[in-house]
Amino acid sequence: MKRLRGGALVLGVIVLVAIVLPFLHVPLPGLMEGTLDSPGTLNLLGLCFVFGALALSYDVVFGYTGLLSFGHALYFATGVYVTAIALARWHWSMPQALALTAVVALVLPLVLGAICLRTREISFAMVTLAFAEAGSLLVLQNPFGLTGGEEGLALGAGVLPAALAGVVNTRNLYWIALAFLVVVCAIVWWAVNSPPGRVWQAIRENERRVAVLGLNPYLYKLGAFVLSGFLASGAGVVYLLLQGGANPQVTTASFTLTLLVMVVLGGVGTLWGAVIGGIVYEYLDFRLVELSNASALQNLPAVLRVPLSEPLFILGTLFIVLVLFVPGGLGSLFRRANRRPANA
């Protein structure tokens, strides 16, 4: 109970600090390009929050239920493209677009999950990958001119409400991303600690034993699949608002592999680990691209300049180091820190 209260207190402090950040005109040399209240910094932090929530949604099926899905990008792309099409192509209002997205975000994982979960292990992974690839090809084919194909789909002027449009309103989008992350954390925490959530974890450990106890693993896995897909679609909506448009890159299978890396980086089957992994990965992915173009690298020998100018090489190296020396992910570092005072 004391540990739970302590964790809630720490979380409350972190959320309070995050709320205050947009009001701080403080530079962070080396960490951010501008001050904390600059639109660029707030946009980056908002994206970090979105990917923290997205990684946590993937952890529901992968970390807590033990389902290796290669199609999670499909549900994120659903939130991005359904909302973008409703707003930019059909000129619906924001409430109408969100209502349509919510319906699709529930029906799509329900239908596809009912099919995919008829298979197991590697077959399940391949079937989810097949559906994701089909969705990616559909977006690239630009049916009826809706998705924009390889060029994507920009929202354009006058599509979003005035409070969400333009650089001057980046602060509002930042708060939306922060609120979404808090809501997703609360939902997942409640879900994994509920009776169905404990069954998910039992399925991860031994599905046959759950069936012997008289429970239906299929229905429980389907519930986890639908919840995970719905939350991923919500993350897609917030991502669309921050980016101002839809990008076909979010539909690819490699995007799901990125989510897998985020979860493993933070800690599989942990609440805060997945969030930390998503935030850290997105931050490094963004910042390393800028650092790779820094003029200071041009003066280094070729043996150092070439690998350091490749962000993916640096990310891959950091990932390998963490897997080798911190096998529990970044979240395990916090758990170890909490255990030391108790052991002392």
Task: Supply the pLDDT for residue 227.
Answer: 96
pLDDT at 252: 85
Answer for the pair 330, 280: CB distance below 8 angstroms, yes or no. yes
Q: What is the pLDDT of residue 314?
A: 76
Hey, what are 333's tokens? 């570092």
3-state secondary structure of 29: coil
Q: Quick one: pLDDT at residue 198? A: 94
Closest to 56 (Cα-Cα) out of 203, 238, 275? 275
Look at residue 342 in the predicted model and tell me its pLDDT. 47
Q: Is the pTM of this model over 0.85?
A: yes
| Residues 257, 270: Cα–Cα separation, whole Å | 18
Instruction: Find how far residue 67's CA is from the centre of its chain.
Output: 17
Residues 6+ apart with CB under 8 A from 46: 170, 173, 174, 176, 177, 178, 238, 242
Question: What pLDDT does 24 receive?
Answer: 81
pLDDT the model gives residue 285: 83
Q: What pLDDT is attached to residue 118?
A: 92
Q: Identify the sign of the CA torsion 221, 126, 137, 255.
A: positive
In the three-class reduction of DSSP (H, G, I as helix; E, B as strand; rest coil), residue 153 is classed as: strand
Q: 10 Å Cβ neighbour count for 74?
A: 30
Domains of the chain, by residue range, sit at 38-252
* pLDDT computed for residue 318 by the predictor: 80
Question: Which residues of the chain have a pLDDT value below 70?
Answer: 1-11, 292-300, 302-309, 333-344
